[in-house]
Amino acid sequence: MKRYDLIVIGGGSGGVRAARVAATHGAKVALAEESRIGGTCVIRGCVPKKLMVLASRVGMDLEDGRGFGWTVDAARFSWPDLKANVDTELHRLERAYAAALDLAAVHVETSRAELLGGGYVKLCSTGEEIWGERILIATGATPINDDDLIGRSLCATSDDFFNWPLQPRRVLVQGAGYIALELACLLARLGSEVNVVFRADHVLRGFDQELREHLQGELTAAGIRLLPRATLTGVRRDGQALRATLSDASVITADAVLRAIGRRPNTRGLGLARAGVTTDHRHAIVVDEDFQTSARGIYAVGDVGNRVQLTPMAIREGHLFAEIAFAGHTRSALPSLVPTAVFTTPELGTVGETEEEAVARHGQVDVYAIQFRPMKAALSGRTGKCLMKLIARRADDRILGAHLVGPDAAEMIQLLGVAITMGARKADLDATLAVHPTGAEEWVTLRTPTRRLGQSEAA
Ligand code: FAD
Ligand code: NDP
C-alpha cells in the first residue's frame, strides 16, 4: 500500500497548482489524471479557444488592411491547418505541465481515481488502492448535454468543437453565456453562418444590462443571427444536415448544433457518498473557506466546487489550499472581486458591480459612460463602437464597477481590476495622466457623470 501526504484527483489548473505547491513544501504527493495533464483550460478550454479567437481576428485585420493601403490577394483560411498548429501547441503545454510536476517530484498516475472512504483511493486503470493523509478533489466540470432534448446525441459540446476536423458551414448554437458567444463569434468571423438560440431577452444574463444590450448589437452587426426568447426542442438528421426545431416551431437547418448551456461539476461516480462528501443541487462539492468538504481530510478546489468556474480562481484555490495544508498558512481570503472577459469580437470586460447591483446595494451612484468609434475604424471603415462605463459610489467616490465592450477589453479590465482591488476612487482616475492616443485613455478622461442615480440627499 503506497501512502502519501496528499492525493490529488484531477490534473487541471487547480489540481496541478495544488500538487506542485504542496510538494514544494515537502509533502509526498500523488496526482491521478484520467485524461491529459493540463485539464480543461489547456486542452479543451481557454488556450485552444483563445488561439482560435486570434485566428478569427486575422481575417478582419486582412480586410481592415485595405483602408491602410495594403492589398492582400487571394487570402484563404484552412481550418485543418489551424487545428494542426493549435494541437501542436497544446501538446507542448501538456509536456510543460507534466515536466513541472516531475520537477516537483509529484508522482503522476494516468488513471481515473475514485474515493473508497477512510483515506483510500482506487486507481481504476489497475485497481490499485493508495492511501492519503489528505485528498484533494480537483476534477473540474463537464459540458451539460444529458437532458431530455430529442436528438441530443446529434449535438456537439465545446469538447467536441475542439475535435472538429472541418469547419461546419452552418452552425446553430444553443445558449448565450461565455462559451456560446465565444464559439459563435469565432465561427462567424471564420466564415460560418451562425444562429444563436437562447431563452432570455439578452445575451449574458447577470452582466451589466447596458453592456448586454451593446454587445448584442455588435454581434448582430457581425452577422450572427440572434434568436432570443426561444429554446431548442429537438434535433434530427436529414441526410448530411441536421434539422433543429425551436420552441416557436421554426426549423433551422445546420451542419452542426453546438450546445453551451453550462457545465456540471465532475462528481458522478467519484464515491462521494461513500466518503461522506456533500454536494449541492448543482452537483457541486460544498466547501468552507479552507476548501474543507463535509468529510474530514477531503478537500475540493476549482470547477468541481461551488464557486465561479474560472481558471485563475481554480489556480488561486489550489495554491491557497496547499499553503494552508502544508505551509502552516492561516486562512487567506479569496479575492472578492473577479475581473473577467468574454472573448467575443469585440471583447467584453467586466469587474465589480453592475449598474443594477450598485443601485440596489448603495442607492446613490454616479455612472460615467461613453461610446466612441475606435481610432482604427477611421481608416478601416468598420462601424462598431466601444462602450466604456464606470460606476462610482456618490458617498465616497469609490469605484464599484468598470465594464466595457471593445478592442483589448480583456487587457484593460485586468489592469482596472488592480486599481479597483486597491480601492481606487474616481478622483484617482481623474488624477492619472492619459496615454494618448489610446482607447484606454477614456478611463481617465471621463469627467461628467452620464447618470446620477438614486435618491438625492434632499429627497
Ligand atoms: P479542470 O481544468 O477541468 O481539470 C479537471 C481534471 O480532472 C481534468 O483533466 C479531468 O480529466 C480530470 N478528472 C476528472 N475526473 C477525474 C477522476 N475521477 N480521476 C482522475 N481525473 C479526473 N476560464 C477562464 O478563466 N478564461 C477563459 O478564457 C476560459 N475559457 C474557457 C473555454 C472553454 C471552452 C471552457 C470549457 C472553459 C473555459 N474556462 C475559462 C474555464 C476554465 O477552463 C475552468 O474554470 C478551469 O479549467 C477549471 O480548472 P479545474 O482544475 O477546476 O478543472
Ligand atoms: P454559462 O453559465 O456562461 O452560460 C450558460 C448559458 O446556457 C446561458 O445562456 C443559460 O441561459 C443557458 N442555459 C442554461 N440552462 C439552459 C437550459 N436548460 N436550456 C436552455 N438554455 C440554458 O455557461 P457556459 O457553458 O457558457 O460556460 C461555463 C462556465 O465556464 C462559464 O460560466 C465560465 O465560468 C467558464 N468560462 C469562462 C470563459 C472566460 O472566462 N472567458 C470562457 C468559457 C467558459 P440563462 O441565462 O437563461 O440561464
All three cell numbers of 254: 445546420
Distance (Å, rounded) from C-alpha 448 to C-alpha 459? Answer: 22
- Residue nearest ligand 1's atom 22 by CA: 10
The model's confidence at residue 456, banded by pLDDT at 50, 70 and 90, is low
What is the atom index within ligand 1 of the atom nearest the CA of 158?
A: 34
- Residue nearest ligand 2's atom 48 by CA: 205
Percent of the chain at pLDDT > 90 equals: 95
- Residue nearest ligand 2's atom 1 by CA: 177
Give 248 Cα–ligand 1 centroid separation in angstroms: 35
Q: What is the pLDDT of residue 314?
A: 98
- Residue nearest ligand 1's atom 23 by CA: 310
Distance (Å, rounded) from C-alpha 152 to C-alpha 235? Answer: 7
Give 313 Cα–ligand 1 centroid separation in angstroms: 11
The model's confidence at residue 88, banded by pLDDT at 50, 70 and 90, is very high
For 14-69, how does the pLDDT look when each residue is reduced to its tens digit (9 = 90+)?
999 999 999 999 999 999 999 999 999 999 999 999 999 999 999 999 999 999 99
What is the atom index within ligand 1 of the atom nearest the CA of 304?
A: 52
Distance (Å, rounded) from C-alpha 393 to C-alpha 406? Answer: 25
Of 45, 156, 37, nearest to 102 by C-alpha is 37
Mean pLDDT over residues 226-240, rounded?
Answer: 98
Distance (Å, rounded) from C-alpha 104 to C-alpha 428? Answer: 43
Q: What is the pLDDT of residue 339?
A: 98
Distance (Å, rounded) from C-alpha 111 to C-alpha 81? Answer: 31
Q: What is the mean pLDDT of the chain?
A: 97
The best mutation among 33, 93, 139 to test binding of ligand 1, ranked by most ligand atoms within 8 Å of the C-beta, falls on: 139
Give 296 Cα–ligand 1 centroid separation in angstroms: 25
- Residue nearest ligand 2's atom 18 by CA: 261
- Write out residues with Cβ below 6 Å of ligand 1: 9-15, 32-35, 39-41, 45-46, 49, 112-113, 138-140, 158, 179, 266, 270, 302-304, 309-312, 314, 343
Q: Is 436 a catalytic residue?
A: yes
The best mutation among 42, 263, 347 to test binding of ligand 2, ranked by most ligand atoms within 8 Å of the C-beta, falls on: 263
Q: What is the pLDDT of residue 459?
A: 41
Q: What is the pLDDT of residue 381?
A: 96
Q: What is the pLDDT of residue 116?
A: 98
Burial of 99 (0-12, 13-18, 19+ CB in 10 A): exposed
Give 182 Cα–ligand 2 centroid separation in angstroms: 11
Ligand in nearest proximity to the CA of 303: 1
Q: What is the pLDDT of residue 20?
A: 98
Yes or no: say if 119 and 84 are a contact pair by the CB < 8 Å rule: no
The model's confidence at residue 455, banded by pLDDT at 50, 70 and 90, is low
Mean pLDDT over residues 423-432, rounded?
Answer: 98
For 183-210, how does the pLDDT look when each residue is reduced to its tens digit (9 = 90+)?
999 999 999 999 999 999 999 999 999 9
Query: What type of residue is 275?
Result: A
* Phi/psi at 272 (5° precision): -65, -45
Give 413 Cα–ligand 1 centroid separation in angstroms: 23
The model's confidence at residue 332, banded by pLDDT at 50, 70 and 90, is low
Q: What is the pLDDT of residue 330?
A: 82
Ligand in nearest proximity to the CA of 341: 2
Say how many CA atoms lie within 13 Å of 345 toward its Cβ.
24
Ligand in nearest proximity to the CA of 344: 2
What is the atom index within ligand 1 of the atom nearest the CA of 14?
A: 51
- Residue nearest ligand 2's atom 14 by CA: 261
Give 356 Cα–ligand 1 centroid separation in angstroms: 31
Q: Please state, as a whole number, how many other Cβ atoms lie within 10 Å of the Cβ of residue 75.
A: 10
The model's confidence at residue 331, banded by pLDDT at 50, 70 and 90, is confident
Distance (Å, rounded) from C-alpha 301 to C-alpha 290? Answer: 10
What is the atom index within ligand 1 of the atom nearest the CA of 179?
A: 34
Percent of the chain at pLDDT > 70 equals: 99
The structural domains of the chain, ordered by start, are 3-143+264-326 (3.50.50.60), 152-261 (3.50.50.60), 340-453 (3.30.390.30)
For 381-390, how does the pLDDT look when each residue is reduced to its tens digit (9 = 90+)?
999 999 999 9
Give 47 Cα–ligand 1 centroid separation in angstroms: 11
Ligand in nearest proximity to the CA of 348: 2
Give 160 Cα–ligand 2 centroid separation in angstroms: 16
Q: What is the pLDDT of residue 458?
A: 46
Mean pLDDT over residues 407-421, rounded?
Answer: 98
The best mutation among 122, 311, 317, 351 to test binding of ligand 1, ranked by most ligand atoms within 8 Å of the C-beta, falls on: 311
- Write out residues with Cβ below 6 Å of ligand 2: 175-180, 182, 198-200, 205, 231, 260-263, 308-310, 340-343
Name the residue with higher pLDDT: 455 or 323.
323
- Cell numbers 454616479 label which residue? 366
* Phi/psi at 322 (5° precision): -65, -35
Ligand in nearest proximity to the CA of 36: 1
Give 141 Cα–ligand 1 centroid separation in angstroms: 6
